[in-house]
Amino acid sequence: MANKNVIWSPLAEEDFNHILAYLYEQWGNEVALRFIDTIEQVIFQIIKYPDLFPLINKDIGVHKCVITKQNTLFYKLDDKNIYLLRIFDTRQNPDTLQF
């Protein structure tokens, strides 16, 4: 099986940057770097096993991956790509989650 391309949506990039800025400001460089490592490991798992994480919306094909207690990654698949849709802070109102 060929590796799929990973494509970050603008919303996922924005989420990631906000989380990193918060971690650097509140918890320091070490915690922020650990979060980056965790994200990289999760993406590697998704590349290797795209259907590893549960499908939460069959109509639009969205999978859910819990990264940390506070952050969840939502992604979609097609034949060639993995689309990272959002990295959602679970402390937010879930009704605000849009893809």
**Is residue 71 over pLDDT 90?**
yes
Task: Please report the pLDDT score of residue 89 as a whole number.
Answer: 80
For the segment 18-62, what is each residue's pLDDT rounded down to a tens digit?
Answer: 999 999 999 999 999 999 999 999 999 999 999 999 999 889 999
What is the side-by-side order of every strand in the sheet holding 62-66? 5-8, 81-89, 71-77, 62-66, 55-57
In a domain, 26, yes or no: yes
Mean pLDDT of 51-75: 94
Look at residue 99 and tell me whether its pLDDT is greater than 80. Answer: no
Domain that holds residue 30: 5-89
Secondary structure of residue 12 in the 3-state scheme: helix
Number of domains in the chain: 1
> pTM value?
0.88
Q: What is the CATH number of the domain that holds 9?
A: 3.30.2310.20
- Give the model's pLDDT for residue 97: 72
